[in-house]
Amino acid sequence: MNTETLKDFIETHWGFEEVVLELLQNKGDRFVYKIISKEGNFVIKISDTEKTVEQFKKDLYMLEYGPRIGFDYVPKIIETKDGSSYLHFQNRFLFIMAFLSGESPENNPLDWHKIGALTARLHNIKNYKYTIDFNPLDKKGGVDEFSQALSFGKEYRELFATLPDFSNLPKTPIHTDIGLHNSIKKENGEIIFIDWDDAGIGLRILDIGFPLLSQFVDENNIIHTQNAKAFYSSYFENVHIPVSENEKRMIFDASLFFALIYLRYSDVDKTWQRIQWALSHREEIESVLF
């Protein structure tokens, strides 16, 4: 990425002066920079060259749609001088957001209560335009291939095969990665969600299932019961479509699904041991839901 050309592009189309760029993230062919300028600090996200305009609009949609309907818990888009939300630059798409001054929420019941309520507000949104391509049933092929190299591959595949069919559960707008890592706590205590690239209409159990094992059971196999109860009780109280007993019983399975598909990005033996521990303590873990 030629940052000098990028700086000129930003100054021309957004009117910022004395732009300085600091690289915040580089994943593959995607870039995120902090913009320091005379007008203040901002963040610019730049897509990879494979992303189509329709895919990019889908990534951007919640940041545009949310504020229009009163869901202001997303980063604010900074439009160009001519009112555009995004532009095309060197075979990529990019947009600029306000820089959020704040920090990650604290890992305590108070902030998890806020995150639960915010997740419910997200799931209450109507008339969302896009669906997501994330279907647990579609992951089986990749699981079979990945597991061939595992010493416990047979057991891994058998466990994956026990996961229930989630497809008849409620679908709502979802984030797909709810947690402290994708939240910012502003100076006034308000929490917003970031990283909306994979958002869209999907199975809401994916959002409420993900944190159960990844956020509320730590690496020492300690269950953070009060944090979990704060999140789930707040969610159940605020979501418009009630969570049935059947759906509650599948929250552990949804969390297990994430643990299994993300195992490849971790210390596989250690994570597999944690999964086995969670299975043997399922009833204790699920007690936070009831």
Based on the fold, state whether residues 224 and 264 are members of the same structural domain. yes
Whether residues 83 and 135 share a domain: the answer is no
Whether residue 158 is found in the same domain as residue 236: yes
Q: Over 70: is that where the pLDDT of 140 sits?
A: no
Same domain? For 267 and 129 the reply is: yes
Domain limit, last residue, from 66, 99, 132: 99
Q: Which two tokens stand for residue 253?
A: 């399975």
Are 290 and 228 a contacting pair, CB within 8 Å?
Answer: no
| pLDDT above 70 (res 202) | yes
What is the spatial distance between Cα 19 and Cα 54, in angstroms, rounded to a whole number?
A: 29
We report the CATH number of the domain holding residue 153 as: 3.90.1200.10
Q: Is the pTM of this model over 0.75?
A: yes
pLDDT above 70: percentage of residues in the chain: 98
In a domain, 104, yes or no: no
> What's the chain's Rg over C-alpha atoms?
20
Whether the per-residue pLDDT at 27 is higher than 80: the answer is: yes
Euclidean distance between the first and the last CA atom of the chain, given in angstroms as a whole number: 51
Q: Is residue 69 domain-shared with residue 200, that is, in the same domain?
A: no
- The span from the CA of 175 to the CA of 119, in Å, is 8
Average pLDDT over residues 80-104: 96
Domain range spanning residue 24? 3-99
Predicted confidence at residue 169, as pLDDT, reads 96
pLDDT (tens digit, 9 = 90+) per residue, 184-199?
A: 999 999 999 999 988 9
Number of domains observed in the structure of the chain: 2
User: Encoding tokens for residue 161?
Assistant: 């095969």
Together in a domain, 11 and 150: no
- Last residue within a domain, chosen from 99, 128, 146: 99
Say how far apart CA 285 and CA 211 lie, in whole Å.
Answer: 12
**In which band, very low, low, confident or very high, does the pLDDT at 141 lie, cut at 50, 70 and 90?**
low
Asked which of 63, 79, 99 is the last residue of a domain, the reply is 99
Q: Are residues 72 and 179 in the same domain?
A: no
What is the per-residue pLDDT across 36-51, written as a single tens digit (0 to 9) for each? 999 999 999 999 999 9
Residues 96, 16 contacting (CB under 8 angstroms)? no
Same domain, 239 and 280: yes
As a whole number of angstroms, the distance between CA 34 and CA 11 comes to 14
Do 270 and 180 share a domain, yes or no?
yes
Same domain, 131 and 248: yes
Q: What residues does 22 pair with on adjacent strands?
A: 34
207 and 146 fall within a common domain: yes
Please check whether residues 200 and 89 belong to one and the same domain. Answer: no
Residue 58 located in a structural domain: yes
Q: pLDDT tens-digit profile of 240-251? A: 999 999 999 999
Specify the DSSP class assigned to residue 95.
Answer: E
DSSP state of 3: H
pLDDT of residue 145: 85
Closest CA to 125 of 202, 192, 216: 202
* Lookup result for tokens 């604290």: 106
188 C-beta neighbours (distance < 10 Å), count: 6
Residue 128: per-residue pLDDT: 97
